[in-house]
Amino acid sequence: MENAENKGNTRFVKGAAILAAAGILSRLIGVLFRVWAYDILGEAGMDFYEIVFPFYSWLLIISSSGIPAAISRLVAERVALGDHAGARKVFIKSLWLMVGIGLATTAVLFFGAGWFATALAQRPPEYAIAFRALAPALFFVSLLCAYRGYLQGVQRMSGTGLSQIAEQVFKVVFALILARLWLPRGIAWAAAGVLVGVVISEVRALGIMMIFTAMNRHVLMPSGASRVPQNGGRVIGPMLAIAVPITLGASVLPLAGVADVWLINSNLAAYMTQEAVKQSYVVLSTNVRSLINLPAGITVALAMSLVPAIAAARARKDEAGLKNASLLGLKLSMAVGLPCTVGLFVLGGPIIQMLFPRIPPESLALATDLMRLASLTVVFISMAQTATGALQGLGRQWLPVLFMLIGAALKILSSAILLRIPAVNIFGAPISNIICFGVAGILDTIFLAHYAGLKLNVWDVFGKPLLGSALMGGILYFGYKLLYALRPGSMMALVATLLGIAIYLVLVFALQMFKKTELALIPGGRKLSRFAKE
């Protein structure tokens, strides 16, 4: 049992490491993509791009959250029992389901483009072109998510990581080429070119995933007789039972994001000019949120890896493996979320100035202040994402739904109140996000500890990363000032960021944040385990 437990935990952390590396790299490319797109489109063009994504993300949740999680869990359970044919059957049935979902969501965004643009986003009718340009991506992402769910279930994360990176690379190439080619037609067409490039990138990523699966078919889908009934309802039924609550929970936040678009634009317009409203929205969406979402690449990977790892441990009735995976995932999320929060708080402004050299001074000042506030959401996002993945693996998928509903309701309520106050204006949006994720993340973590039977050592799980992050932040604050005084320039933000990472890694071992047994589960961690306690 111990060998199976160690093997399962090692596979979980390796899978998380692969997805985290791919997630961080793809998100870095995504940030650079926004930087280059901003350089071509400016604030006016980025408004076309940013206004459509809350609606796209809402529809995308249907295919990208619940069903892939359900696929990975059902596949992991069958593979744990040696039923590889049953795992293949889950994948095939889910693929057909995703075809229908992809077609339906594409139709909603394409044919509802005019209403989304004018009634909800409160933009002129020409903004509908952005919605229609992006709509086909929903179909191809749906199919892509079916493949990713299967590969996560068999804990072969390299294919998912490869497709994520390819998706971002192709997006940069095709979107920016089309934007420059279509720019002479006007800023709306240039923005549409960026969005068509996104569609092309999804098509290419799907092709890579299909080729990867076909080339590794003998490993990913070994032959054998199925041990599950042939009735397709026995696959679709359990899949929907898992997917529906997860999808409902995951759709809460995108729906709140859609409400945010309406609340921000309608409330700010009461005391600000239309141009000032657009400027505030683009600064928040492009300059701030793109960086805030960067650390989520790691915690999303942890959450995605926790679902099959914990589901497999449950299927084997491996209580120790279940507890270890849950605890290690929570510790890793804190060790990532807290330093990222502090780093963005201290260096957010200089990093924005480095990445967006064409940003107007007034927009930079606004972005810096927004970043200091919005950075506080990172640690709560880390808690919520990781604990949600663990609760899904435990079969408690309705709990994150309930907690996110509570958080989203508080978010919408606080946004509706704060955005009406001229002295608060756009800052009401990040404040409401802190409330939302703070409530959801804390409740998720409390109930994860209860249902996984964890006895959390507060100092070990939360105190050490908090102390390490605070020490790093203090050194970083004065270190950046010294570096900038010695050699003024925006690149000092990059130097200071690398310095902060190095300082925090030293503090990880100085404060003994992980035990030897935990480091041994991390790829390459055995070489570092001599610096840790038993």
Q: Write out pLDDT tens, residues 328-356.
A: 778 888 998 999 999 999 999 999 999 99
Judged by average pLDDT, the poorest of 80-84, 156-160, 221-225, 343-347 is 221-225
Q: Is the pLDDT of residue 1 over 50?
A: no
Judged by average pLDDT, the poorest of 171-180, 235-244, 383-392 is 235-244
Q: Is the pLDDT of residue 419 over 60?
A: yes
Q: Dig out the tokens for 278 from the structure.
A: 């657009």
Asked whether the beta carbons of 201 and 170 are under 8 A apart, the reply is yes
**What pLDDT, on a 0 to 100 scale, did the predictor assign at position 229?**
45
Q: Is the pLDDT of residue 129 over 70?
A: yes
The confidence band for 133, taking pLDDT boundaries of 50, 70 and 90, is: very high
Distances (CA, A) of 233 to 94, 115, 311, 369: 11, 37, 21, 53
Percent of the chain clearing pLDDT 90 (strictly above):
39
The confidence band for 15, taking pLDDT boundaries of 50, 70 and 90, is: low
**What is the rounded CA–CA span in Å between residue 244 and residue 149?**
15
Q: In this predicted model, what pLDDT tens digit does every residue of 480-495 receive, in sequence order?
A: 999 888 888 778 999 9
**What pLDDT, on a 0 to 100 scale, did the predictor assign at position 75?**
82
Of residues 251 and 233, the one with the higher pLDDT is: 251
**What pLDDT, on a 0 to 100 scale, did the predictor assign at position 389?**
78
Q: In this predicted model, what pLDDT tens digit does every residue of 266-325 receive, in sequence order?
A: 899 899 998 899 999 999 999 998 888 888 766 666 666 666 667 677 777 777 777 877
**What pLDDT, on a 0 to 100 scale, did the predictor assign at position 369?**
96
Q: In this predicted model, what pLDDT tens digit does every residue of 195-227 receive, in sequence order?
A: 999 999 999 889 888 888 887 776 666 655 444
Region 233-256 average pLDDT: 75
pTM greater than 0.95 (yes/no): no
Distances (CA, A) of 474 to 346, 382, 491, 513: 9, 22, 20, 19
Q: In this predicted model, what pLDDT tens digit does every residue of 505-523 receive, in sequence order?
A: 999 989 988 877 666 655 5
**What is the rounded CA–CA span in Å between residue 172 and residue 524?**
32
Mean pLDDT over all residues of the chain?
A: 83
Region 242-249 average pLDDT: 76
Which residue in 429, 60, 44, 124 sits closest to 268, CA to CA?
429
**What pLDDT, on a 0 to 100 scale, did the predictor assign at position 91?**
84
Q: In this predicted model, what pLDDT tens digit does every residue of 428-454 receive, in sequence order?
A: 999 999 999 999 999 999 998 888 888
The conformational region for residue 425 under phi > 0 = left, psi -120 to 50 = alpha, else beta, is left
Residues 6+ positions from 484 with CB-CB distance below 8 Å: 350, 492
How many residues appear in the chain? 534
Residues 6+ positions from 248 with CB-CB distance below 8 Å: 66, 401
**What pLDDT, on a 0 to 100 scale, did the predictor assign at position 521?**
56
**What pLDDT, on a 0 to 100 scale, did the predictor assign at position 20?**
62
At 424 the three-state DSSP class reads coil
Which residue in 150, 143, 197, 199 sits closest to 173, CA to CA?
197
Q: Is the pLDDT of residue 479 over 80?
A: yes
Q: In this predicted model, what pLDDT tens digit does every residue of 21-43 receive, in sequence order?
A: 666 777 788 888 888 999 999 88
